[in-house]
Amino acid sequence: MASKLVINRNYGFGHGIGRSGDLLDAQPKAVGSTIVAQLSNALVLDVIRLQGIKSVKSYFIAPMATGMTLTLCLLSLKKRRPPAKYVLWSRIDQKSCFKSITTAGLTPIIIDTVKREEQDGLFTDLGKFEENLSCIDREEILCIMSTTSCFGPRNCDGIISLAGLAAKFDVPHVVNNAYGLQSTYLTHQLKQANSAGRVDLFVQSTDKNFMVPVGGAIVAGFEESSVHTVAKAYAGRASSSQSLDVLITLLCLGKIGYQDLVSQRKLNFVYLQKQLEEFAEKHHCRVIRAKANPISLALELKTLSTDVATKLGSMLFTRGVSGTRVIIKGCNKTIDGFEFADWGSHESSLDCAYLTAAVSIGLKRPEIDAFIHKLQQCWQDLEKKINKDT
């Protein structure tokens, strides 16, 4: 390495991990990087088991963010099922999830989420999944792709039922568990799904669960062969930066430190829900509480016009609130030739605008208070402007 700054930034680890053709192989020319990778993988296994998925058999840190890691998983499945071209995908309006399918050269069969009577939130359309599994030639279906963590008011997919369908129709099942490792509710869903049926691979983000820079993901599974196939699908060696970041962070936090953050996140979610409900009561709106979503909440904006709701989102952003999204009706989007009605809402029949707010690991209570304060200020400013204009 030519630059001392680069050497210091990487602690002298410049050779990467894995050998050409397998990310899990030891690299004889880079003993240090190999040990870092093995240690970080061992600590990640400890976290996965600590969070309740004790039956996990194989795992590794991939040197790519969640979207591209999902693509690698799909390509590894394609090697085992050459005629397959379709991915049955439960709609989640997050670009990288969808593009992980199209980037792999596969065709997504988009299955919209559905509402249920007297229940808040959006749910997996299990009937549509079974219908497609029954109608399409099984050899042409690469896998079912489901999602656990997501923006409200979408619930975690019914991964236990989907795992049952995957086993019944003998089709692989890949779970996008991006934020899910930090939630014991979601890890329990994964554990139950594996017991009830079939889960081939589940993928989670390193930055979202371990508070490290973006760029890594964890591939895990309940059978060694499935995970090793993914590791062998990676072309060439890989950067050790992501493994090093995870290793340093987990050693700094320790087991108790990480558990404390997980517990605090759960308490913070309850706190945010309470604060939003108090806000909603004052302003004649409603919190949409999707019971199977332990990370994200949605605040209905029925009393605001589309323009005003959009303005609220931009006002929050300019005041340093970057984690919220305002979803409005009629915002359609085309991605890789596929059209999505009411993009952002995870459905094609959005009733009214809403604002999302999430509680991820590492969030502090004063930050929630600051968000509610800024939301209150923005709302009052908008009300004053509306009253002035009328």
Residue 359 phi, psi dihedral angles, 5° rounding: -120, 105
Average pLDDT per 10 consecutive residues for the chain, totaling 390 residues: 87 80 78 89 96 95 96 97 97 95 98 92 97 97 97 96 98 97 97 97 97 96 95 88 95 97 98 97 92 96 92 94 91 94 93 94 96 95 78
pTM of the model: 0.94
Domain with CATH 3.90.1150.10 in the chain: 264-389
Q: Find out whether 116 is annotated in a ligand binding site.
A: no
Question: What is the pLDDT at residue 66?
Answer: 96
Reduced to 3 states (helix: H, G, I; strand: E, B; else coil), residue 228 is helix
CATH fold, domain 4-251, is Aspartate Aminotransferase; domain 2 (3.40.640)
Distance (Å, whole) CA 57 – CA 194: 12
Any idea what the Cα angle at residue 196 is, between residues 195 and 198, rounded to 5°? 85
Could you give the strand order of the β-sheet that contains 173-176, starting from the edge strand earlier in sequence? 58-62, 217-221, 201-205, 173-176, 141-147, 86-90, 107-111
Domain with CATH 3.40.640.10 in the chain: 4-251
Q: Find out whether 19 is annotated in a ligand binding site.
A: yes
Question: What is the pLDDT at residue 206?
Answer: 97
Q: Find out whether 377 is annotated in a ligand binding site.
A: no
Q: Find out whether 302 is annotated in a ligand binding site.
A: no
Question: What is the pLDDT at residue 197?
Answer: 97
Question: What is the pLDDT at residue 390?
Answer: 63
Q: Find out whether 319 is annotated in a ligand binding site.
A: yes
How do the residues of the chain divide into helix, strand and coil, expressed in percent and rounded to 5? 45, 20, 35
Q: Find out whether 27 is annotated in a ligand binding site.
A: yes
Domain 264-389, second-level architecture: Alpha-Beta Complex (3.90)
